[in-house]
């Protein structure tokens, strides 16, 4: 009996040691009325390096959904697939800024819960300009965000676009230490501005 108990405890310990605690943002999303068409959607961020040089970060791996009434939209972006056009820089941003290997947080989540329009009255082929409010969560921190949106309807598809209009402040996000870590470890001296601007073209298909 003692031997069996010992083996059971050993097996449990090995299972816990090999288990990776799930990132809350990476959990499967509950079904929503509209599903993000990831193949036709895009999300990017632009940071300013050395006060003058824009550096674009593209996030090719997206997942999301939308409910029109009551309104709620979710967008999840995998940080470990970000693309800046430079593989070395990609690795630096992933490892030293987002600290994916250290924290296990490999996703950023945007949750929008307020919008200044009724999407149910948006007719086929029409578009409107509105504003939205929500929350960005990543790296163990959250930040209230807001900005303008251009929304259009085509058949059973809703599209939302925004360009350089949603600003994320690194200090407000609580990531100054992560930024200092990036600056310290990058091979070339540089300074990254605190404001990062988001742009996106998000296509949602009604289920």
What pTM, to 2 d.p., does this model score? Answer: 0.82
DSSP of 99-125, one letter per residue?
Answer: -HHHH---EEEEEEEEESS-GGGPPTT
- Tens digit of pLDDT at every position of the chain (207 positions): 443 333 333 333 333 333 334 444 444 567 899 999 999 999 999 999 887 889 999 999 999 999 998 999 999 999 999 999 999 999 999 999 999 998 889 999 999 999 999 998 899 999 999 999 999 999 889 999 999 999 999 999 999 999 877 999 999 999 999 999 988 887 666 678 899 999 999 999 999
Is residue 113 within 8 Å of 149, Cβ to Cβ? no
Q: Which two tokens mark 11?
A: 């097996």
- The CATH classification number of 2-206 equals 2.40.128.110
DSSP of 38-61, one letter per residue?
Answer: GGG-EEEEEEEETTTEEEEEE---
Delimit the domains of the chain by residue range.
2-206
């Amino acid at each position: 009996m003692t031997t069996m108990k010992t083996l059971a405890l050993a097996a449990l310990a090995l299972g816990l040691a090999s288990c990776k605690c799930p990132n809350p943002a990476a959990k499967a999303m509950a079904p929503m009325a509209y599903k993000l068409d990831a193949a036709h959607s895009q999300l990017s961020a632009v940071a300013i390096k050395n006060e003058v040089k824009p550096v674009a970060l593209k996030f090719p791996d997206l997942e999301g959904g939308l409910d029109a009434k009551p309104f709620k939209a979710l967008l999840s972006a995998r940080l470990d697939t970000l693309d800046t056009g430079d593989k070395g820089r990609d690795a630096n941003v992933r490892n030293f800024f987002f600290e994916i290997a250290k924290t296990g947080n490999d996703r950023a989540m945007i949750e929008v819960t307020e919008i200044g329009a009724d999407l149910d009255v948006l007719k086929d082929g029409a578009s409107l300009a509105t504003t939205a409010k929500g929350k960005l969560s990543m790296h163990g921190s959250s930040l209230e965000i807001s900005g303008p949106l251009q929304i259009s309807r085509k058949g059973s598809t809703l599209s939302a676009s925004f360009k350089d209009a949603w600003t994320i402040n690194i200090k407000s996000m609580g990531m100054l230490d992560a930024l200092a870590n990036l600056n310290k470890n990058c091979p070339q001296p540089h300074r990254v501005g605190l404001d990062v601007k988001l742009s996106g073209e998000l296509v949602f298909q009604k289920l």
